[in-house]
Structure 1
């Protein structure tokens, strides 16, 4: 029997409870979820790729069927190196849909054997983004209900400098 793998891509700068909601729920549907940290050089990130990967590994360590990896180029090129035929994406609100539809359309053009599965984020995280978390943390406001403790500590350390 073939293992059903899904790729869950993102920048995860940093990982939030919203991301973890999608990852953990995806892990209950698929045999394996590969969380792929995008290394987008056109974006300036707060955390390095290695730091983001370590935070994801730490926050998902209790979910046995999660792998964490990184990708430098197109996601579709990365997918060709795996047995995965599914991209798992979270949607927070209708505003996410148009962007996600464009990405899905180009991905289908590049490889129509790969499907994209959209999962609605839990309502309590529908407002949550890494950008919002960074903005709140930058001004030393509490983010404990937005990110796991290890991420909160990493943010405090970054913004203490």
Structure 2
């Protein structure tokens, strides 16, 4: 899951939603959601700037209240064929369950590290649930991070979905 560059600007997002342990920012262009990004919890909330951002914010807020929410957002899916295969596999992991990087890699005929890298490039966390992939020995990292608000966010998401 991509994280924002240092010194992000709220002008680069079309909505910022409050979540436990983080903020969830939405970026849109035309009729598609181009990115969903986790931001530090101290970032100010921002009302949606357009109809699609409003729709995305409503669905994300619904998920915050109910982990069984189904997303139906028009996502601008970019990535290599391998990344798209990994992301489709993530979408098949049921809520309330996790898969290890190794198990997911075996199901795709690849290496765990490659799966981890593809998870780290996921542009639509929450919607494409990279948080459901964990290390064999525990929760593992998140968005190429081993601590901080991102790991707290992963813990919250898994607990919210009753996977911890």
TM-score by length of 2: 0.30
- Greater fraction of residues in strand: 1
TM-score by length of 1: 0.30
Q: Which has the higher contact order (CA 8 A, sep 6+)?
A: 1
- Greater fraction of residues in helix: 1
